[in-house]
Each structure stands twice: as structure tokens, then as C-alpha cells.
Structure 1
Amino acid sequence: MLIPGFLLRHEVTVEPYLGDNGYGPQWGDPVPVRCFLEEKTRLVRAPDGREVTSSSTFYCRLDAVDAPPESKVTLPGDRPTTVIQQARHDGGGLPTPDHLEVQLL
């Protein structure tokens, strides 16, 4: 089951992090993503184990985008931020709202 469309009230732009090469960090083309944006400060754990403060989290459909850590995100109002980590919530066919949770700096 997909996250219901009526919950996707916001739009962010994601530039997926592709990795580093000889020229430095590389990002993919900007992708507009319909989502539910929660602007709430909370403590989260980064992929390297550090505790960092997240200023926002957005929730979108699983197939909307891949936003690995260090991806660039532009929030409404042209506010830039960076992905801390993403978490896939997939019920495996159970009637749950499958979605991607993306935590932002």
C-alpha cells in the first residue's frame, strides 16, 4: 500500500549524492519530490554512528527518489539542507503505508 497522495502536501528538490571522484563530490540531477515535510528538531544517529541534530524530516513514496546520505535537498522557500540518512518503511505486502523517511540536517 502506498502512502496516501493527500498526505503529500509539500514539494522538495533532491540532488542524489553519487559519490566522490577525482574532482570531489558528485550529485545527480535535481528531482522534484512530492512529500510530507515535518520541520521538527530531533536527535538522530548518522550512518557513521555520530549523534546529530535533524532539523526536518520528509516522507515520500518509496519509488519517488533515492536520497543517500550527503544528498542535497532544497526545502520550500529555497532553503538548502543535506540528507543525514534515509529509512525505507516497506510492509512487504501488508496493508501499511509504505514510504521513505529522509532525515535532514
Structure 2
Amino acid sequence: MVTRVPPSLLRHRIGVEPYLGDGAYGPTYGPYVEAPALVGEAVRMVRAPDGRTVTSSAQVIAAPGLACPPGSRVTLPGGRITTAISVAEHTAPGLPVPASTEVVCE
């Protein structure tokens, strides 16, 4: 039974600077961390956590537990820096499907 997305499927490397909140000088971010991921760059309309409809230009699948809250800066494999719109942890206890983290980026 598969419990996590297999590392062999995570063919890309992304960089994440987790969003920590707003400070006196604007948004603040945690330390830059690299993580293996599977990146799809396709333009899609998605709903942001606040209900707005926004355009997503990249979707990322990573191992479960990726520290990437909405608002985080994400560096894609090609070097483009984008912002996480929404993050979802996918689990299916007892089913033969992998757990993963999905990040939808601007």
C-alpha cells in the first residue's frame, strides 16, 4: 500500500520561503528551503481562500507536510518566483493512494 507520493515521481526541485505574516515593512518570510516536487505549469482559474477567483499559472505536488502556507514565495524549477494561492493536504487513510501536498501558485 502506498502511503506517500513516491519520491521517484517528484522530478523537480522547488524553493519555498514560508509566509510568516505581515511586519512593519510588509510581508515576512521564513528561511528558504528546497524540496522535491512535481510541477505543472498550466493556466487555470482557481478560487483563493478569501473567495476571489484568480489565475493560477503553476501547480505543485510535493510530499506531505511541506511548510508552504498561502502567501509563501515559491521558486519554480525554471527560476521564476511566484506566490502560493492555496495549499491542500491530500490524505486517504486505508486507500492505496498516496498522501501529498498540493500548492496552487499565481
Normalising by structure 1, we get a TM-score of: 0.93
User: Which residue number corresponds to residue 70 of structure 2?
Assistant: 69
Distance in 2, matches of 1:21 and 1:42, equals: 31
User: Which residue number corresponds to residue 22 of structure 1?
Assistant: 24
Deviation string, structure 1 residues 1-38 (Cα, Å, up to 9, x no partner): 01011110000100000011233211000010100001
Structure 1 unaligned segments of length 5 or more: list them. none
Aligned in 2, Cα 1:30/1:93: closer, same or farther, shift over 3 Å? Answer: farther
Q: What's the C-alpha RMSD, in Å, of the aligned pairs? A: 1.1
Count of residue pairs brought into register by the alignment: 104
Distance in 2, matches of 1:67 and 1:96, equals: 22
Within 5 Å, which residues of 2 pair with 1:1-105?
Answer: 1-63=3-65, 65-105=66-106
Normalising by structure 2, we get a TM-score of: 0.92
Structure 2 unaligned segments of length 5 or more: list them. none
Distance in 2, matches of 1:29 and 1:81, equals: 16
After the TM superposition, list the runs of 4 or more consecutive aligned residues in structure 1 that deviate by more than 4 angstroms: none
Deviation string, structure 1 residues 30-88 (Cα, Å, up to 9, x no partner): 0101000011111100011000010010101113x221111001111211110000011
